[in-house]
Amino acid sequence: MNPLSDREYFLKFVQTKMPYGKYTGTLLIDLPEPYVVWYHAKGFPAGELGRMLGLLYEIKVNGLEYLFDQFRQGEQPPQP
């Protein structure tokens, strides 16, 4: 299953904030790329947060953050 094909997961992903550390309270999508790359090298945490950070890593290293700009501005995602 592609997590971004699931609307509920996508909404959860764009609304999830980092729960701890230097970037506590920052939306995952707004985490700096070097931090996400560092986490990738260190190893993502287990569980859902780790899966989300893995997805975020792929988004960041492929330059796809712009796809999330509308959500940063408070707009609602398009209906399927």
pLDDT tens, residue by residue, 14-73? 889 999 999 999 999 999 999 999 999 999 999 999 999 999 999 999 999 888 887 765
Residue 2 — very low, low, confident or very high, per pLDDT cuts 50/70/90?
Answer: low
Alpha helices (H) in 16-46, listed in sequence order: 33-42
Domain edges within the chain: 3-72
What pLDDT is attached to residue 10? 82
pLDDT at 70: 78
pLDDT of residue 6: 77
Tell whether the model's pLDDT for residue 5 goes beyond 70: no
